[in-house]
A and B are shown apart, each in its own frame.
Chain A
Amino acid sequence: MRQLVIFIRKEFLHVFRDRKTLLMLFGLPIAQIVLFGFALSNEIKDSRIAVVDYSKDAVTQRLIAKIGSSPYFNIQRTLASADQIDAAFKKGDLKMAVTFPAGFGDDVIHTGKATMQVIADASDPNQATTITNYLNQIVADFNTELAAGSGQPMTIVPSMQMMYNPELRGAPNFVPGVMALVLMLVCTMMTSVAIVREKELGTMEILLVSPFRPVYIIISKLAPNLLISIVNLFVILFLSDIFLDLPVKGSFLLLVFGSVLFIMTCLSIGLLLSINAQTQQAAMTGSLMGMMLPTMLLTGFLFPIENMPLALRLLSNLVPSRWYFIIVKQVMLKGLGIGAIWKELLILGGMCVFLFTISLRKFKIRLQ
């Protein structure tokens, strides 16, 4: 036991000696979370659109003014002819073009029916769908206005309530996701170099010939990383409360418990990488190139997991950050208790034990 304490002290000295690295390990993850929390948003507003008005009458003027005054659209210019739409789309500064055919206003007033044409740049299909939908709503509102004189009987009014995030901000969704992402990658990478470095420098042999138990080597390697990650976690939670207005609604202790479990799982992944890799570069490239995008996409904060094909849904079960993302959402944003997340906690715990055991066994083999 005394041995272990001394060894942990050695590892801490290693970490704290290198001020520059230490600063990076603390500063960079925190900077990312704050940056993403403020900047990222799924909200689509001020989409640049163009209007082609062949009719130029009172009705089209009114409708164009109504579209322009909506927060979703920003009428950037008027095109003289529909032939210019393609060129404008190719330049990439327009999202949508609205065309009114000649005689539009007359048709509305006299025949009661008219059709306007809307062309969306669907190279981004999601945005195209969303803004087409917004436009449909505006036109539907406009129709109601036109009909105001004749009175609208029997109206069903949907009363919408946006729960948990009434202003539809991006931060409530992105902060837990980014927290899971950044913690996972930083923990994995920090640890992935731990043992390879000793191998590269040749100091590993000295450790192996000492009467020191392998499990102690591993534990002492993990200890400083665990501490750094936990400090990072506290700073992140503090900052999201102060700056992003996202306090921990549920039990703080429960969230910390879940986080520590998650951090330990990620440390174990890094450990496994570290034991298998031959060089630091391979270990880090593996943890960065191999894990970054899958973690980003399969955590579920960018794209809903239930939309993915079965193979990827199964694969996503293996990504620890996926489970942690749920824990953070439930405890931090919704304020739910352990009843809502016991399954996720169990899964993380299982992963952690499993990965650690494998690392330990692999490590022993190398001893012989």
Chain B
Amino acid sequence: MKTLVFLLEKEFRQLLRSKQLIGILLIAPLIQLILLPMAADYSVKNISIVVVDNDHSTTSRKLIEKIVSSGYFRLKGYEDSYTAGLKMVEQDKADLALQIPIHFERDLVRENQKQVFVAINAIEGTKANLGGAYLGSIVKDFNEDIRLQWQVDNPAPTISVASSNWYNPLLNFKLYMVPAILVTLVTGLVAMQSAFNIVQEKESGTIDQINVTPIKKYVFIIGKMIPLMVLGIVLFTMGLLVGWLFYGVVPLGSWWVLYGSLVVYLFSMLGLGFMIATYCGTQQQAMSLSFFFINIFNMMSGVFTAVDSMPGWAQAIVTTFPPSHFIKIMRPVVLKGSGFQDILPEILWMLGLGLVLNTWAVLNYRKTS
């Protein structure tokens, strides 16, 4: 026990000594938390559309008007030919080109059916999907309108949908991103620093001095873990504060659940960092490996794209990522006020992963080379 206290004193001194580092560790994440949720705005309201109206009839003009006034589309302009419209899409000046063919109105009345042509830039899947869906439903609405206008008797039965959005009625995407971005920042901090911390001692040779002392392996790792855990908790708390001040995000769930799961999470991520460190000889190696893991965690843990939309094998891999579980805890607890019972499976996952990783690290840490 006494050894641990001395080790802790040493670690805290080392950590607090480098002012440049502490600055980077705490300030950089907070600035990002202030700025980045604003960048993560995926409202599909600004789909730019170029229109090729070859008909120039009342009906075609009304259709265009209806599309533009829907609020989802931004009219980029008119072109004379479909080819010119496609060129606008090609040059990324418009997301979508709509062509209303010649004799649109006449054929609609005479032949009861007429096509309009839509070309969508589908490189961004979601935008294309939603753009197409919006346009489709607007055309359908318009269809109802003109049917009513031309022949009033339309006895077809209709089912209407009354939809409501819970927990985030204004559909504010930032609310959804703030907890997840906070998780990625904490992840980056602890996973990397724990790996660096040990490798640095290896590179400068001070780890040999510790190795010749009777300090037990697990005591050494606990001594490394506690200061970084404190750092993680400090960053997390400051992050919640920033979320409240700048985005008005106040966790609906209990603080105990939030901080309890944070500690379990930090335990598992620090374990990963130590495990990485035992395999690395130089700081550059530690950096390459921790960058690899952090980048994969950030991209695949459901921060930006839903885990559910990945193929099955990828979802299975993601289950072994501690951050994916912590994000599954943070979002519901902060936004919906989920309780301990709801998130218990995720906590158990993190605890299990943490035990495996830490045991791995302790076993792989050799005091003799």
Which residues in A have some Cβ–Cβ distance to B below 8 Å? 18, 20-21, 24-25, 28, 31-32, 35-36, 38-47, 63, 86, 89-92, 108-109, 112-130, 132-137, 139-140, 142-143, 146-147, 150, 152-166, 168-170, 172-173, 178, 181-182, 185-186, 189-190, 193, 197, 277-282, 284-286, 288-290, 292-294, 296-298, 302-304, 306-309, 311-312, 315-316, 326, 329-330, 333-334, 336, 340
Contacts and interface: CB of A to CB of B under 8 A. Distances in A.
A158 B156 contact: no
A6 B97 CA distance: 58
Interface in B111-133: 112-130, 132-133
Contacts of B287: 189, 193, 284, 288
B114 A289 contact: no
B205 interface: no
A42 B172 CA distance: 19
Nearest to B300: A39
- Interface of B, secondary structure class, is helix
Contacts of B166: 86, 89, 119-122
Contacts of A168: 122, 125, 128-129
Nearest to B310: A39
Interface stretch (B145-153, B209-217, B240-248): B145-153
Contacts of A170: 125, 305, 309
B255 interface: no
B192 A133 contact: no
Contacts of B32: 293-294
Given A122-B169, A158-B115, A303 B143 contact: no
Contacts of A121: 166-167, 336
Q: How large is the interface on B (under 10, 10 to 19, 20 to 34, 35 or more residues)?
A: 35 or more
B108 A156 contact: yes
A123 B176 contact: yes
A20 B289 CA distance: 11
B135 A153 contact: no
Contacts of B288: 21, 24-25, 28, 189
Interface in B289-309: 289-292, 294-296, 298-300, 304-306, 308-309
B167 A123 contact: yes
B137 A136 contact: yes
B142 interface: yes
Among the interface residues B91, B162, B283, which one has the most CB atoms of the partner chain A within 10 A?
Answer: B283
Nearest to B100: A156
A179 to B, nearest CB: 13
B255 to A, nearest CB: 17
A150 B155 contact: yes
B106 to A, nearest CB: 12
Interface of B: 18, 20-21, 24-25, 28-29, 32, 35-36, 38-46, 63, 86, 89-92, 108-109, 112-130, 132-137, 139-140, 142-143, 146-147, 150-151, 154-169, 171-173, 175-176, 181, 184-185, 188-189, 192-193, 196, 200, 280-285, 287-292, 294-296, 298-300, 304-306, 308-311, 314, 317, 328, 331-332, 335-339, 342
Given A63-B159, A90-B338, A134-B133, A286 B24 contact: yes
Contact of B156 (A126, A133, A150, A334): A150
B159 A116 contact: yes
Given A89-B167, A147-B157, A21 B124 contact: no
Nearest to A141: B140
Contacts of A45: 309
Nearest to A190: B284
Given A158-B135, A298-B39, A115 B159 contact: yes
B134 A118 contact: no
Q: What are the nearest 8 A-B pairs in CB distance?
A: A147-B156, A122-B165, A39-B314, A162-B122, A125-B171, A165-B122, A24-B288, A42-B126
B176 A133 contact: no
B125 A125 contact: no
A280 B282 CA distance: 10
Nearest to B157: A112
A155 B116 CA distance: 11
Nearest to A193: B284
Nearest to B328: A92
Given A31-B292, A133-B130, A185-B295, A162 B192 contact: no
Nearest to B134: A133
Contacts of B309: 41-45, 170
A294 B168 CA distance: 26
Contacts of B44: 126, 129
23 contacts: A35-B314, A39-B311, A42-B309, A47-B308, A90-B337, A90-B339, A120-B166, A125-B168, A126-B176, A128-B168, A133-B133, A136-B163, A139-B159, A146-B157, A155-B112, A157-B116, A159-B118, A170-B309, A173-B124, A280-B284, A285-B21, A289-B28, A297-B40
B125 to A, nearest CB: 4
B273 to A, nearest CB: 13
A65 to B, nearest CB: 15
Given A140-B137, A308-B38, A41 B159 contact: no
Nearest to B132: A160
Given A156-B139, A182-B295, A312-B38, A21 B282 contact: yes
